[in-house]
């Protein structure tokens, strides 16, 4: 299995632009998570899906952030408009079922200038 | 609000030393505690702990959960430079699926 696949690996964008991050979870995994990691705040949960349905989006910082999971093999996290404080590494992770470990993708390093 | 606190935040040791990393948690309806190692990029899974007092071991790494003290430790014996990484502790509750992580312990092992 290729693991969780994220794209792009790096993204540099100007403030105000729309950014879309993509994730392909491991096949057969029922849950998908989006995390954001910064030095100051560590690894924070943004949103998670179970069977493609958003379960908890309380970690999404603002309305500028949105996430979708149109099918079991694809999810996006969109930031519109982006701001410099959104600069972070964004991780996607997937989990086979409840009470098992989550597997992380390689992350997308986002820099908003 | 659920909380996970790791200590120390950073640590520098010499190769061959033994280290102990700490994780304490406050979780409503606790289910399990997980340890991950993060080198350059993606966190990789080390251990999942659900029962108190049962040690999990993998090579030079071991971990144990103390539900009475609401804590866990991760031990690394005979450290090597390849152990240099951020070690993350995450808690899971029966109320949801997602892991809530601490800020991590950054370990540097010098030759």
pLDDT tens track for B41-80: 899 999 999 989 899 999 999 999 999 999 999 999 999 9
Choose among A35, A21, A14, A34: nearest CA to A82. A14
Q: Do B41 and A107 touch (CB under 8 A)?
A: yes
pLDDT reading at B97 higher than 80 = no
For residues A96-103, average pLDDT: 88
> Which of the residues B99, B100, B101, B102 would you substitute to probe the A interface, choosing the one with the greatest number of A C-beta atoms within 10 Å?
B99
More confident residue, A91 or A98: A91
What does the DSSP assignment read for A46-82? EEEEETTEEEE-TT--STTEEEEEEETTEEEEEESS-
Task: Nearest by CB to A104, from B42, B97, B102: name it.
Answer: B42
Query: In terms of C-beta distances under 8 Å and separation of at least 24 residues, what long-range contacts does A42-46 make, across chains too?
Result: A42/B101, A42/B102, A42/B103, A42/B104, A43/A91, A43/B43, A43/B88, A43/B90, A43/B101, A43/B103, A43/B104, A44/B101, A45/B98, A45/B99, A45/B100, A45/B101, A46/A77, A46/A90
CB pairs < 8 Å spanning A and B: 55
Residue with token string 């061959």:
B16
CA–CA min distance A47, chain B (Å): 9
């Amino acid at each position: 299995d290729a693991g969780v696949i994220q794209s792009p690996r790096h993204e540099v964008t100007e403030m105000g632009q729309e950014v879309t991050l993509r994730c392909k979870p491991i096949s057969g995994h029922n849950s998908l998570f989006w995390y954001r990691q910064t030095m100051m705040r560590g690894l924070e949960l943004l949103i998670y899906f179970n069977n493609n349905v958003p379960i908890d989006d309380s970690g999404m910082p603002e309305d500028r952030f949105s996430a979708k999971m149109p099918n079991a093999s694809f999810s996006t996290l969109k930031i519109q408009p982006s701001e410099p404080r959104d600069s972070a590494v964004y991780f996607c992770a997937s989990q086979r079922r409840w009470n098992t470990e989550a597997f992380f993708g390689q992350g997308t390093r986002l820099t908003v200038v | 609000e659920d909380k996970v606190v790791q200590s120390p935040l950073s640590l520098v040791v010499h190769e061959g030393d033994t280290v102990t990393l700490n994780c304490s948690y406050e979780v409503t309806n606790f289910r399990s505690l997980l340890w991950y190692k993060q080198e350059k990029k993606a966190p990789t899974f080390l251990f999942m702990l659900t029962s108190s007092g049962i040690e999990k071991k993998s090579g030079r790494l071991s971990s144990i959960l103390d539900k009475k003290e609401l804590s866990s430790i991760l031990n690394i014996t005979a450290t090597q430079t390849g152990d240099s990484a951020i070690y993350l502790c995450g808690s899971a509750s029966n109320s949801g699926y997602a892991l809530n992580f601490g800020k991590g312990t950054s370990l540097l092992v010098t030759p």
